[in-house]
Chain A
């Protein structure tokens, strides 16, 4: 008998259909992956499954847990089921944890909510649960508060709370999205181990097909509130029946620079690090337009990033150091250059200092030592008129596009804001920028909250290029997007670099994407640049352990990087 059974479930929010006639069953001990773009109804499905939909939701159809329809239960009985039978893990562990309680106390609270157990015994059990979730008592003891933990540790603590009462079903909504690649792999491995140990069923919800496919037994693909397709993982990847699933798979595999081999049933998108190197390297066939046959963008005319001739330098970072007051150094002694028209990727785990370094490059923060030079002129010491002249050359795209827009401004005004840097703006610049990023002109009169995630990102890029700068700096600019929008944004960046000669500095933890995309890599760890050089060369021959670890944690790359596999 199925553990959770959704039948003809539809949910409407004030006339807008969020779920449309969804029928889905989860068997005990099974891992079900739910994949879909942002806004496809994934989270609504999760909330409906545990009876936590907001009051204004109009629900039809049935949700049954263990054969009992949950709408026949009282609110109290439902509360008892949550946690005891069903555990929940959210994308943002910081929001799921109480900042004023130690993690041990929070796990203990979750246990005591559902089991009669003495105060003393529960603390021991809480400590054990935390340890089982990979929180080493020496590194992160139960007495820690959430703010004393790293992002990955926080998610582990949130998982410990979710499994504290030993539920039979765990629902994880984008559990690893906010984390870097290495931590992401660890969290998924942990979930898989816990599910096996406890015999729990797991519903893993994500926009990232590659990530889910590596873990799930069965996949359900969602679009516009409906389940367009569900099938065992291998079968769905090999023979997607719906057009939408095919697009999703294509987008996920475009990321890793090759298209799917329909005949062998295994997908390169399969994550989890399980792929062995013995499968060898397959050359790219029919590669997406995004990628050059050798996996690298063609070198710019007359330029060569392999070090044989030095291209013209656009920006120089000279021994930059930066620290937040009261904290350790965020950036130490960072030096690098960005050639004109180059795409440079800044790679590093979360907390490695990428964002701080970008703020220094943008002149939003002042370095403690060192300076940033643009075309030989110091940005760091520029003021007034000359600062404005330098700002025209470097613009930025922030990590969360929505947060980087004034919520009260319309799109047209948002995009136009940097035009103030020019003494006299030519007419039509806004229209040109909007056309370049592929934004529909009617969106110009919208407010930021009326746009989709992909549209917002395009607005942010349009704002960055409207004054036609020479360098655009992007901070994790696509991490929140679904794979289709994600690939489209990168295609756009590649086009802007090639056609407009704009240089890009892209901070990311997505090595896979950068492999076929960036001309140079800069690898950061703990505020230091530990490695930099031409992408092809670095990926084949990484010297620093940090980059090795990152490559090992990135499934598609580990598979790729049999020594000598990539022509350099």
Chain B
């Protein structure tokens, strides 16, 4: 839990820092120092165009985290109300909403994202949209499941006796009691979204050059794997650490919430 929170915190700090400061301009090409090894001037060396790898990783964190958080945030905003509605109404409303969610689930998520990003055109915004889309049913389902079991509880019956309608009950009793469950799911989905973003960038459907991204750094680096393996290893490591951080955070949150 602590480790996860520390990793995620550090990544966010680095991403924020990159808004105001990076050791070099991550887009600045300087062919004179191309493929330089790590040094005091270039902490992690430079790539085949002489761009500073450390700066690119920092700026890439901003893109990777930004796209993932925007995608999951959007999915939460849409998925939670759908789930609450399905649980509160039951019957055919529930059936309709959940079968629609099943339909979205039936497609391989990344394939949909690739398809969508390809149709809408590449770019950070569209990548976030594509990743967010297949996360909506995830949160709708989690919310609905947790809410359904709460609706059977006596304190909901007590609220009904107090004359509260389904909407008021959902807001006052259901949502606060399932936020923990949703938070755990959100961290897990964040780590998946991070991989999805890297994947989209890798195939060229994510953020466009010159803006750096971990996925595209990986793609560009792999052609030089024999000459400068660190160009592929470093962004790969960044993705790995970020995913690990979110997963640890999610696990820790779950343990802490379940112990209560």
Q: How far is the CB of A474 from chain B (nearest CB, A)?
A: 13
Chain A residue numbers with a CB within 8 Å of B161 are 362, 364, 391, 394-396, 418
A232 interfacial by beta-carbon distance below 8 Å:
no
- Interface flags, B120-163, vs A, CB<8A=1, else 0: 00000000000000000000000000000000011101111111
User: Could you tell me which residues of chain A, from 340 to 390, have a CB within 8 Å of some CB in chain B?
Assistant: 359, 362, 364, 387-388
Minimal Cβ-Cβ distance residue in B for A384: B165
Chain B residues closer than 8 Å to A266, beta-carbon distance: none
Q: Decide if B209 is an interface residue (CB 8 Å cutoff).
A: no
Residue of B nearest to A392 (CB): B163
Contact with B along A402-440 (1 / 0, CB 8 A): 011111100000000111110000000000000000000
Q: Which residues of B contact A400 (CB under 8 A)?
A: 154
Bound CA span A198–B152, Å: 44
Contact residues in B for A417 (Cβ distance below 8 Å): 158-159, 162, 164
Instruction: Find chain B residues with CB under 8 A from A398 CB.
Output: 154, 157-158
Q: How far is the CA of A350 from the CA of B140 in the complex (A)?
A: 37
Whether B163 pairs with A404 at a CB distance below 8 angstroms is no
CA distance A420 to B172 in the complex (A): 13
Residue pair B163, A418 in contact (C-beta under 8 Å): yes
Determine whether A166 belongs to the interface, using a CB cutoff of 8 Å to chain B.
Answer: no
Interface residues of A (CB under 8 A from B): 359, 362, 364, 387-388, 391, 394-396, 398-400, 403-408, 417-421, 463
Residues of chain A with a CB closer than 8 A to B159's CB: 406, 417
Contact between B157 and A364 (Cβ–Cβ < 8 Å)? yes
Inter-subunit contact B177/A408 (CB<8 Å) = yes
Question: Does B34 reach chain A (CB closer than 8 Å)?
Answer: no
The residue that B177 contacts in the complex, of A362, A395, A406, A421, with Cβ under 8 A, is A406
Question: B173 contacts which chain A residues (CB < 8 A)?
Answer: 406
B155, B158, B160, B172, most chain A CB atoms within 10 A: B158
Bound CA span A567–B91, Å:
55
* Chain A residue nearest in CB terms to B165: A384
A406 / chain B contacts, CB cutoff of 8 Å: 155, 159, 172-173, 176-177
Interface of chain B, helix or strand or loop or mixed? helix
Q: Please, could you name 6 A-B residue pairs with CB atoms under 8 Å apart, sorted by A?
A: A359-B157, A396-B158, A398-B154, A398-B157, A398-B158, A418-B161
Shortest C-beta distance, B155 to chain A (Å), equals 5
Contacts of A405 in B (CB 8 A): 155, 158
Which residues 163-211 in B have Cβ within 8 Å of A in the complex? 163-164, 172-173, 176-177
A407 to B178 Cα, complex, angstroms = 12
Judging by beta carbons under 8 Å apart, are A408 and B176 in contact? yes
User: Nearest 10 A-B pairs (CB), nearest first?
Assistant: A404-B154, A418-B162, A421-B163, A398-B154, A417-B162, A403-B154, A404-B158, A388-B163, A406-B155, A404-B155
Chain B residue at smallest Cβ distance from A467? B162
Say yes or no: B158 contacts A463, CB within 8 Å: yes
Residue of chain B at shortest CB distance from A391: B163
Residues of B within 8 A of A407 (CB): 177
A433 to B157, CA, bound (A): 21
- Interface centre among A396, A400, A404, A421, by most B CB within 10 Å? A404
Residues of B within 8 A of A418 (CB): 161-163
For residue A463, which residue of chain B has the nearest CB? B158
Cβ-defined partner of B153 (8 Å) among A362, A394, A403: A403
Q: Report B-chain residues with C-beta under 8 Å of the C-beta of A391.
A: 161-163
B155: which A residues are within 8 A, CB to CB? Answer: 403-406
Smallest CB-CB separation from A403: which chain B residue? B154
What residues on A are CB-neighbors of B153 within 8 Å? 403
- Give CA–CA (A109, B162) in the complex, Å: 49
Find the B residue at minimum CB distance from A400: B154
A400 to B155, CA, bound (A): 10
Residue among B158, B162, B176 making CB contact with A421, cutoff 8 Å: B162
CA distance A403 to B159 in the complex (A): 12
Nearest CB in chain B: distance from A322 CB, A:
15
Q: State in angstroms the CA–CA spacing of A398 and B176 once bound together.
A: 22
Residue of B nearest to A390 (CB): B163
Residue of A nearest to B177 (CB): A408
Provide the residues of chain B in CB contact with A463, threshold 8 Å: 158
Closest Cβ of chain A to B183, distance in Å, is 15
In-complex Cβ contact of B164 among A404, A408, A420 (8 A): A420
Report yes or no: A420 in contact with B154, Cβ–Cβ below 8 A: no
A405-B158 Cα distance, complex, nearest whole Å: 8
Q: Please measure, in the bound complex, the distance between the C-alpha atom of A407 and the C-alpha atom of B155, giving whole angstroms.
A: 9
Contacts A406-B177, A407-B177, A408-B176; A420 near B158 (Cβ below 8 A)? no
Q: In the complex, how many angstroms separate the beta carbon of B112 from the nearest chain A beta carbon?
A: 36
Query: How far, in angstroms, from A387 to B160 measured CA to CA in the complex?
Result: 11
In the bound complex, do residue B177 and residue A420 qualify as a contact, i.e. CB atoms below 8 Å apart?
no
Q: How far is the CB of B166 from chain A (nearest CB, A)?
A: 13
CA distance A406 to B171 in the complex (A): 13
A528 to B12, CA, bound (A): 64
Chain B, residue nearest A394 (CB): B161
Which residues of chain A are near B160, meaning CB under 8 Å?
364
Q: How far is the CA of A364 from the CA of B156 in the complex (A)?
A: 10
Inter-chain contacts of B157 with A (CB < 8 A): 359, 362, 364, 396, 398, 404
Q: Which residues of A contact B176 (CB under 8 A)?
A: 406, 408
Q: Which residues of B contact A387 (CB under 8 A)?
A: 163
A405 to B157, CA, bound (A): 10
Chain B residues near A396 (CB-CB < 8 A): 157-158, 161
CB-nearest residue of chain A to B168: A420
Q: Which residue of B lies closest to A417 (CB)?
A: B162
- List chain B residues, Cβ under 8 A from A399: 154
Residues of A within 8 A of B162 (CB): 391, 417-421
Least distance between A55 CB and chain B CB atoms (Å):
13
**Cα–Cα distance between A408 and B179 once the two chains are bound (Å):** 12
Chain A residue with Cβ nearest B174: A406
Chain B contacts with A in 59-92, Cβ cutoff 8 A: none
- From residue B172, how far is it (CB to closest CB) to chain A in Å? 8
A463 vs B158: C-alpha distance when bound (angstroms): 9
Determine the chain A residues whose CB is within 8 A of the CB of B163 once the complex forms.
387-388, 391, 418, 420-421
Kindly provide the distance from the CB of A395 to the nearest chain B CB, expressed in whole angstroms.
Answer: 6
